[in-house]
Amino acid sequence: MTDLTPRIDALMKGAVDLHTHPGPSLHPRKVDHIEVVREANEAGMRAVLIKDHYYPTMPVTRLINDNMGFTTQAIGAIVLNNPVGGLNPSAVDYALKQGARVVWMATAHAKNHMDHEAKEADFKNKFPVNSKKTVAAIPTVLVDDKGAVLDEVKEILDLIAENDAVVSAGHHHISECFPFYEEARARGVTRLFLNHPTYVNEGSMEDIRQLVAMGVKMEHSICMFVPSTFHIFDTDHLREVIAAAGVENTLFGSDLGQKNNPTPVEGFRQIIEVLIGLGHSDDEIRLMTATNAAQLAGLDA
């Protein structure tokens, strides 16, 4: 059997992970913020986004970039769950002006996510549980009863457009995603992506094709395709989602950092090996693990 290590080593150079979950966090984590960037730096990765479901990370990434001497860039973000006020334009405004590059709509506190937790024991068991008891979450939606995007969401999208930042519909249902991304485009947002579209968002292959036609990139969570506590999809599903969007519209985020899982760098190495096994060329793999994410985040701007 051919040793793929040198090929994987080479493909890790310049890779970009826009979806890591290090600590400190209320969720149990395997690595902290500095460790995750240090490991990426040792692998020669270009950039790593630090994401927490409950607090903005740009102060942390600024400290890492200014003080640790890493070549790998740490990228900050904000997720619009309850602790930042949910769909809070002020929180978004301050985060963007302090350097956040990505804004996620609600994840753990999206009504769609909370409905899954209430109905599906397996879903609830897979998503990390807070290490301390917190007040009851208020579910978030992006649209009103008639399917119209909420005014506060429109204000947030205007801020994202003004700052040329990236936006994701978070864990909201696919039925909310379409009007959300349509509104985003109408308001001048050009950096659009959706994470794990066939997971909690419940998107189909046709949904992926339609969203890509609207300019939305598809980010797939590595943790769902490699051995981990989140492993739910096989390589046939991976082949199908890549074909639905095309390699030019597909990127991978590790979605890793939790205890009992590979680290983000380990996950990236594993998905590269899987992609090699599926027959993708090095150029295609670089698109999906480096170039597409770098362009989405504006790293070349």
Model pLDDT for residues 268-286, shown as the tens digit of each residue? 999 999 999 999 999 999 9
**Average pLDDT value for residue range 36-52:** 98
CA nearest to 113, candidates 51, 171, 170, 196: 171
Residue 114's pLDDT is: 95
pLDDT at 300: 81
Q: Which tens digit of pLDDT belongs to each residue from 109-143?
A: 999 999 998 887 666 556 667 667 879 899 999 99
Per-residue confidence band for 153, with pLDDT thresholds at 50, 70 and 90: very high
Length of the chain: 301
Q: What distance in Å separates the CA atoms of residue 228 and residue 12, rounded to the nearest whole number? A: 20
- Cis bond leading into 24, ω under 30°? yes
300 domain residue, yes or no: no
Domain ranges, residue 125: 5-294
Instruction: Report the mean per-residue pLDDT for the chain.
Output: 95
For residues 89 and 54, give the distance between their C-alpha atoms in angstroms, rounded to a whole number. Answer: 16
Average pLDDT, integer, range 9-29 = 91
Burial 249-287 (b: 16+ CB within 10 A, else e): bbbbbbbbbbeebbbbbbbbbbbbbebbeeebeeebbbb
CB of 178 closer than 8 Å to CB of 211: yes
C-alpha distances (whole Å) from 287 to each of 175, 220, 252, 295 are: 29, 13, 10, 10
Structurally, the chain folds into a number of domains equal to 1
In a domain, 23, yes or no: yes
Mean pLDDT of 223-245: 97
User: Residue 130: its pLDDT value, please?
Assistant: 65
Give mean pLDDT, residues 151-168: 98
Residue 24 domain flag: yes
Section 223-230 average pLDDT: 96
The answer as to whether 126 is a domain residue is yes
Token couple for 219: 């980010």
pLDDT at 128: 67
Per-residue model confidence (pLDDT) at position 64: 98
Domain harbouring 240, CATH code:
3.20.20.140
Q: Are 116 and 107 in contact (CB under 8 A)?
A: no
pLDDT, tens digit, 9 for 90 and up, residues 164-218: 999 999 999 999 999 999 999 999 999 999 999 999 999 999 999 999 999 999 9
In a domain, 301, yes or no: no
CB distance 74 to 50 below 8 Å: yes
Q: Tell me, what's the pLDDT at 105?
A: 98
Residue range 233-262: average pLDDT? 97
Residues 22, 101: Cα–Cα separation, whole Å:
18
| Residue 171 covered by a domain | yes
**pLDDT on residue 27:** 74
pTM, two decimals, is 0.95
Percent of the chain's residues with pLDDT above 90: 89
